[in-house]
Amino acid sequence: MAQAASLGAFRQVRAGVLDVAYAEAGPADGVPVLLLHGWPYDIHAFDEVMPILAASGYRAIAPFLRGYGATKFLSADTMRNGQPAALAMDAVALLDALQIERALLAGFDWGARTADIVAALWPERVRGLVAVSGYLIGSQQAGKQPLPPDAEYQWWYQFYFATDRGKLGYEKNRHDFNKLIWRLASPQWKVTDATYDRSATSFDNPDHVAIVIHNYRWRLGLVEGEAKYDDMEKRLAVGPTISVPTITMEGDANGAPHPPPAAYRAKFTGKYEHRNLTGGIGHNLPQEAPRDFARAVMDLSKA
């Protein structure tokens, strides 16, 4: 097990097509909480969230997504697929591997999208959902529709990644590239180099670039996914509603593309609350406002 700077020792478990590296804190019999990070971040986004949850009796679990940290594919022949459906299956496979029947799911960025998909397609596995930026389920068909110019401008990196130049540039410059994304996505967060560098080591995973590039190219319909996810994609393409108890959250200084809360309110049909955070909170909400994020998880479990 590798040693984490502030999360103790990483654990490893075989789950689906992956050998997943993850951190865990709290009692083994506590209510399980699966904490899901996004791009370009890692489980250190939950450095302060996990101790809060653990001290309150929760079993907090934060896995490195495919292509991050010490998580690796079991086979060299497995497609390096960044398709959102594949990441959702990773989360379900991890719950299975840890013998967790139902868990609270909480995430941001790719992690919120993953949690949304699991909650929509497997509600029986989800006690409740905390989703930063709300409902993020999309489809290739939706991705073909042009957005207003200012919105397209915010997605500049997606178009960069669609090119061979962009793939090469990300391969060569991922440390500085992702540091730029952190700054743009959280313009008021006074992040230190040490904090960034702690997460940046996760981008050295040999599959990282392939997963990231495939994810963004798939969204634009430029590459195919895997046929085994076709049925899932058909269900996701209609924008399924989410019935589990949910708290959505948004920071007042989120510089990354994100929908307004009113745009997705109708997608949540169960007990629901939206929380706006003030004080210059950006895209990496768990790391910038850990107490608020942890409080949402704990409040949700009491709903």
With 0-12 / 13-18 / 19 or more C-beta atoms within 10 angstroms meaning exposed / middle / buried, residue 206 is exposed
Q: Where are the domains of the chain?
A: 11-301
What's the pLDDT score for residue 237?
94
Q: How many CA atoms lie within 13 A of 124 on its CB side?
A: 1
Its pTM stands at 0.96
**Closest of 11, 60, 18, 55 to residue 35, by C-alpha:** 60
Peptide bond into 51 cis (omega under 30): no
For the chain, the maximum distance between any two Cα atoms, rounded to a whole number of angstroms, is 50
Please give the CATH topology (third level) of the domain spanning 11-301: Rossmann fold (3.40.50)
CB atoms within 10 A of CB 143: 15
pLDDT truncated to tens, each residue of the chain (303 aa)? 334 446 778 999 999 999 999 999 999 999 999 999 999 999 999 999 999 999 999 999 999 999 999 999 999 999 999 999 999 999 999 999 999 999 999 999 999 999 999 999 999 999 999 999 999 999 888 888 898 998 899 999 999 999 999 999 999 999 999 999 999 999 999 999 999 999 999 999 999 999 999 999 999 999 999 999 999 999 999 999 999 999 999 999 999 999 999 999 999 999 999 999 999 999 999 999 999 999 999 999 876
What's the pLDDT score for residue 3?
40
